């Protein structure tokens, strides 16, 4: 049963404690990466048999397989995928940057140009659940940014097939290069390349502890979006909130993973008790009841605050991945939110809107990293390059200043590289 506790400023250890850390898999992941770097496709096939129970002759999803998956997808789901993709594209198109150039009368020009990252790898989970929404959320911003090679990797089932919903989402997102490989071995393949799978410049997308650790270990050989931890939701709710709705929203994240975190912060003790009871009522009916139960019992909590303002202060300290503001005037409190991955405003905005349909990205910073990290966006698929142009006259005017600065750092060659060009 979810624990109820009153906020006490003198003892915040339990309030701000997160769930137990995941098991250390760094050694196992390091060995997998080493094997893939040394043996390429041979290692991938061996790991596919070991972890997925599938024997593969070819990793690539063929055009025929993609067409068949799309044809087998219910038309209703295809329509919903296309509607969601449209919303995601509309939102992310507004993020697209342009470069700039600052020109002065003396002829100097300084500026910044924007260049797409050419090759990106998208990891799509396919273990305990398949996530076609992740395909849309990763591929559409990459396409808008202008990446010219978008590579999807996702684990196959025992028959060597990819979940057709994932393939349908890839089709809708305009991705056709898809490989049947998952886990740390897929990350290694994207980072270093194999005979079949191309080396990319950046890897994005969520995954289990092995995937997260692999992304950490290959960082430097390639760029990554973030090290994603277990999913989180924090609901700030006042006494007018519907306990059934709040309980359902908490369970929507608890069903992701046994390590997921579901937290309610409220100024109403009555609501706290009702939500606690409602969670127990709703839990048994869930398809992933066992997972949700472990999450709620291990990492769930209800915190009673003195006010909604204090509830938001608690939320800022926890910096949740998802934050719901279940209050009458949510925009009144939005500026007070300093640390959160994505904010859902009002009583009619369940977090699931963001997972699937509204348009903002669902790949978000977790385990408190919203203090300094941002959601996945078009910015994750671009590079910014600075440029500088000076005429000889413009350089002459500042050469002595640059040389003086360089000499203060003891770098005389730097100094000479400017004075050697200037008028004596």
Mean pLDDT of 159-175: 95
Q: What are phi and psi of 5, to 5 degrees?
A: -140, 150
Number of helices (H), then strands (E), in the chain: 17, 14
In the residue annotation, 321 being an active-site residue is answered as yes
Token representation of residue 208: 């289990």
Question: What are the strands of the beta sheet with 382-389, ordered from one edge?
Answer: 100-103, 109-116, 382-389
In the block, tokens 């209050």 appear at 327
Give the residue, 88 or 20, on which the prediction is more confident: 88
Catalytic residue among 321, 324, 351, 362: 321
**Is the predicted pLDDT of residue 424 greater than 80, yes or no?**
no
**pLDDT tens digits, one per residue of 60-98:** 999 999 999 999 999 999 999 999 999 999 999 999 999
Helices 289-299 and 243-254: crossing angle in degrees, nearest 10, is 100
In the residue annotation, 414 being an active-site residue is answered as no
Cα–Cα nearest to 321, from 251, 230, 241: 230
Q: How far apart are CA 168 and CA 72, in angstroms?
A: 9
Partner residues linked to 149 by β-bridges: 119
* 153: Cα separation from own chain's centroid: 16
What pLDDT is recorded for position 365?
95
**pLDDT tens digits, one per residue of 294-342:** 999 999 999 999 999 999 999 999 999 999 999 999 999 999 999 999 9
> What pTM was estimated for this model as a whole?
0.93
Partner residues linked to 172 by β-bridges: none
What pLDDT is recorded for position 331?
97
What pLDDT is recorded for position 101?
98
Beta-carbon contacts of 51 under 8 Å, excluding residues fewer than 6 positions away, are 155, 182, 183, 185
What pLDDT is recorded for position 152?
98
What pLDDT is recorded for position 19?
66
* 175: Cα separation from own chain's centroid: 19
Catalytic residue among 92, 255, 256, 322: 322
**pLDDT tens digits, one per residue of 338-396:** 999 999 999 999 999 999 999 999 999 999 999 999 999 999 999 999 999 999 999 99
**Is the predicted pLDDT of residue 4 greater than 60, yes or no?**
yes
Q: What percent of the chain has pLDDT over 90?
A: 91
**pLDDT tens digits, one per residue of 267-293:** 999 999 999 999 999 999 999 999 999
């Amino acid at each position: 049963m979810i624990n109820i506790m009153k906020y006490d400023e003198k003892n915040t250890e339990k309030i701000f404690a997160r769930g137990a850390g995941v098991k250390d898999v760094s050694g196992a992941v390091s060995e997998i990466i080493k094997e893939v770097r040394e043996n390429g496709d041979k290692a991938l096939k061996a790991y596919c048999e070991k972890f997925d129970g599938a024997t593969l002759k070819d990793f690539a999803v063929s055009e025929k397989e993609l067409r068949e998956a799309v044809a087998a997808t219910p038309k209703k789901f295809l329509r919903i995928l296309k509607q969601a993709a449209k919303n995601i594209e509309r939102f992310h198109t507004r993020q697209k940057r342009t470069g700039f150039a600052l020109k002065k009368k003396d002829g100097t020009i300084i500026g910044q140009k924007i260049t797409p990252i050419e090759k990106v790898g998208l990891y799509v989970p396919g273990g305990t659940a398949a996530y076609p929404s992740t395909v849309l959320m990763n591929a559409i911003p990459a396409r808008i940014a202008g990446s010219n090679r978008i590579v999807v990797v996702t684990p196959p089932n025992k028959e060597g097939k990819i979940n057709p919903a994932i393939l349908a989402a890839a089709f809708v997102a305009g991705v056709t290069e898809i490989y049947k490989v998952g886990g740390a071995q897929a990350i290694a393949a994207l980072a270093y390349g194999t005979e079949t799978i191309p080396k990319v410049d950046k890897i994005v997308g969520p995954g289990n502890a092995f995937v997260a650790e692999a992304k950490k270990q290959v960082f430097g050989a390639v760029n990554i979006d973030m090290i994603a931890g277990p999913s989180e939701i924090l609901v700030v709710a006042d006494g007018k909130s519907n306990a059934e709705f709040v309980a359902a929203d908490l369970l929507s994240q608890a069903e992701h993973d046994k390590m997921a975190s579901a937290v309610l912060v409220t100024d109403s003790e009555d609501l706290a008790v009702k939500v606690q009871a409602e969670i127990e009522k709703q839990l048994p009916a869930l398809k992933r009841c066992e997972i949700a139960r472990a999450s709620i019992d291990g990492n769930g909590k209800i915190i009673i605050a003195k006010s909604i303002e204090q509830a938001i202060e608690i939320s800022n300290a926890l910096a949740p991945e998802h934050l719901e503001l279940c209050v009458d005037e949510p925009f009144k409190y939005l500026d007070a939110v300093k640390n959160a991955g994505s904010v859902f405003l009002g009583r009619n905005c369940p977090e699931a809107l963001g997972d699937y349909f509204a348009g903002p990205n669902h790949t978000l910073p977790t385990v408190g990293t919203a203090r300094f990290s941002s959601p996945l966006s078009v910015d994750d698929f671009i590079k910014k390059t600075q440029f500088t142009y000076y005429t000889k006259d413009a350089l002459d005017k500042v050469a002595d200043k640059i040389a003086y600065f360089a000499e203060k750092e003891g770098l005389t060659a730097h100094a000479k590289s400017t004075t050697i060009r200037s008028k004596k």
